[in-house]
Amino acid sequence: MVQQSGVMTTSTPARTVNPRRSHPAHSRRSHRADSPLRPWTTLVVVAGGLFLAVMSTTVVSVALPAIGTSMRVGSSGLEWIVDAYVIVYSSLLVACGTAGDRGGRKGLFLAGVAAFGAGSLIAGLAPSVGVLLAGRALQGIGPALVMPGSLTIIRALFEDERQRALAIGTWSTASGLALAVGPVVGGLLVADFGWRAVFLFNAPLTAILIALAARYVPRLPRNPTRGRFDWAGAILTVVAIAALAVGTIEGQALGWASPVVLVAFAVGVIAPGSFTAWEARHPSPLVDVRLFARHKFVVANVAAFVVFFAFIGAIVYFSAYFQQAQSRSALTAGLDVSAIGIFFALGASASGRLTGRFGARWPMIVGLVIACGATFGLLRLGVATGIGAIWWNFALLGVGTGLCLTPMTAVAVSAIDASKAGMVSSVHSTFRQVGQVFGVAVLGALVYARLTARTAGPLTVFQRELFVTGLHHALLLDGIALFAAAALAASLFARTNLVTHR
């Protein structure tokens, strides 16, 4: 049974999406828009935005040792090259999601892709670390504009729950492909053209994506919400995420008792509480805080935070493990790490079909449990462990996280009516990206905790042992977090089902 949301009907989808196309000169174009393939073509285009956003992290992770050597940057600085992108990305997601509901998703999608391309050029041509970080920050604005609109467009085009789950699975698969392809592409580019190429190659890709989006992404109706935009809420979001990230990353370099670090953590604790209090009173809030009274919505977002905390953080430091602890080339490290992404894509692809058939509960819980077991299995990793001994752990880690990606996203975007879909999808995407920020920062603190020489280059024999010890601590934390998320999901889903049956 197809539910009508007011965004599009099954009988006249093109007329609803583009009501101004009534002139005879547009008859052929409108006929093409009525094709049943049009929603899936649009899906491929918006998934391309996700592909570029995710690949920007995995490509850069392989290039970090080369950047560190070229620009003489230590491990703390390299974390900022990863996190400058993700902090801007995550802190702007909520504001951009609400702006998309008010002002239109297609325009923000196009602006986001353009910002990503411009940031890539600046980072690729950067003469210094400061300019490189500025380029990465501008890159981060891109997916902040693109991501909420992507999920909103998918929700509007695919109204049937099973079709929507399959579409989200396809969309999620794009991130898996990016995780699989990114390390290999990064390794090839660094080996043949140098680290700057991992940024510059984005320029032609963004140009192609802009052309396709202008043609195939529809203009959806705007949310008629009145009232001023919540600028105070947007600022508090940025302050909260940035302060906690600064404290976590700089705590390693300056010391955890440093005044800068203590102030950052204090601001990071106060700002979220202030944001919640402000949003509860604001007439047009960025986030409807009542959403967090819905158990399934809470589960979906906690799972998203944990999965990206464990998964992306692990990819970054497995790349460092193969290059620094085992002195492998960037290309070899990229090929080794790509096993995780390949099986992640397979898991995400299967998850869309499983979620559409069985619902979200079991794919999410089973995926978290598999990822947890694979992470604990990697604790046997040593300085000289080859990929042949651990590739199946990488495979299980990829499959497990891929399995839970679609159900947690489907639960989140179905939590509220379509008029606020941008808000909901941006909150969910924020949890994912904040998990990535703290995964890189916290796991980095554990991996490099025992190293006195914080270099990005090859390590001495003694330093390699210390690196692996730190990696074990990071993996142990990952495994515990994944287990806790699985237990929470099982508990709250059961509680929700009890309430529903009553």
CA-CA distance, 369 to 107, in Å (whole number)? Answer: 40
Q: What percent of the chain has pLDDT over 90?
A: 12
Of residues 114 and 23, more confidence is placed in 114
DSSP letters of 386-404?
-HHHHHHHHHHHHHHHHHH
Domain CATH number, residue 132: 1.20.1250.20
Does 430 fall in a domain?
A: yes
Number of residues that this document lists for the chain: 502
| Over residues 61-77, mean pLDDT | 79
Q: Which of 283, 298, 317 delimits the end of a domain?
A: 283
Greater model confidence, 12 or 74: 74
Domain span at residue 49 reads 37-221+284-501
Whether residue 355 sits in one domain with residue 255:
no
Residue at which a domain ends, from 243, 265, 283: 283
In a domain, 401, yes or no: yes
Whether residue 304 contacts residue 431, with contact meaning beta carbons closer than 8 Å, is answered with: yes
* Shared-domain flag, residues 256 and 405: no
Looking at the structure, do residues 164 and 262 belong to the same domain, yes or no?
A: no
30 within a domain of the structure (yes/no): no
pLDDT for residue 421: 60
In a domain, 355, yes or no: yes
* pLDDT tens for each residue of 443-474: 888 888 777 545 555 677 888 888 889 999 99
The percent of residues in the chain predicted with pLDDT above 70, rounded, is: 82
Residue 167 in this model has a pLDDT that exceeds 60 = yes
- The confidence score (pLDDT) of residue 196 equals 92
What is the predicted pLDDT for the residue at 118?
Answer: 93
Q: State whether 104 and 253 are in the same domain.
A: no
Q: Are residues 171 and 248 in the same domain?
A: no
- Same domain membership, residue 310 and residue 290: yes
Query: Which residues, including other chains, have CB under 8 Å from residue 293's CB and lie 6 or more apart?
Result: none
Residues 413 and 487 in one domain: yes
Among 283, 301, 324, the domain boundary falls at 283
DSSP helix/strand/coil, 104: coil
Structural domain count, the chain? 2
Tell me the mean pLDDT in the region 307-314. 80
| 47 and 188 assigned to the same domain | yes
Q: Which amino acid is at 105?
A: R
| pLDDT at residue 224, as a whole number | 56
Crossing angle for the helix pair 461-501 and 295-320, to the nearest 10 degrees: 170
Q: What is the pTM of this model?
A: 0.70
Average pLDDT over residues 220-234: 68
Cα 96 to chain centroid distance, Å, stands at: 15
Backbone CA torsion sign across 213, 217, 222, 227: negative
The tens digit of pLDDT for each residue in 400-444 reads: 988 887 788 777 776 665 556 667 777 887 888 788 778 877 888
pLDDT at 340: 82
Backbone conformation region of residue 416, classed left if phi is above 0, alpha if psi is from -120 to 50, else beta: beta
Query: Is 291 found in the same domain as 252?
Result: no
> Is residue 322 domain-shared with residue 374, that is, in the same domain?
yes
Closest CA to 236 of 271, 186, 194: 271
Task: Supply the mean pLDDT for the chain.
Answer: 77
Residue 435 within any structural domain of the chain: yes
- Residue 17, in any domain of the structure: no
- Work out the pLDDT band at 9, boundaries 50, 70, 90: very low
Q: Which is more confidently placed, 104 or 198? A: 198
Quick one: 381 and 464 in the same domain?
yes
Burial letters 380-405, b for 16+ CB under 10 A, else e:
ebeeeeebeebeebbbbbbbbbbbbb
Give the pLDDT confidence score for residue 215 in this predicted structure.
84
**Of 52 and 437, more confident:** 52
Poorest-pLDDT segment among 97-101, 257-261, 335-339: 97-101
Q: What is the pLDDT of residue 122?
A: 94
51, 190, 194, 247 from 147: Cα distances, Å: 11, 28, 29, 27
Q: Quick one: 158 and 85 in the same domain? A: yes
C-alpha dist (Å) from residue 274 to 92, 243, 264, 372, 382: 17, 14, 15, 34, 45
| Measured distance CA(262)–CA(222) in Å, rounded | 43
pLDDT at residue number 482? 92
> Has residue 467 been placed in a domain?
yes
Lowest mean pLDDT among 159-173, 273-287, 379-393: 159-173
d(C-alpha 31, C-alpha 435), whole Å = 43
Residue 376 clears pLDDT 90, i.e. is over it: yes
| Amino acid, res. 253 | A
In a domain, 7, yes or no: no
Rounded to an integer, what is the distance from CA 246 to the centroid of its chain?
19
DSSP 8-state assignment for residue 321: I
pLDDT tier, 225 (very low <50, low <70, confident <90, very high otherwise): low
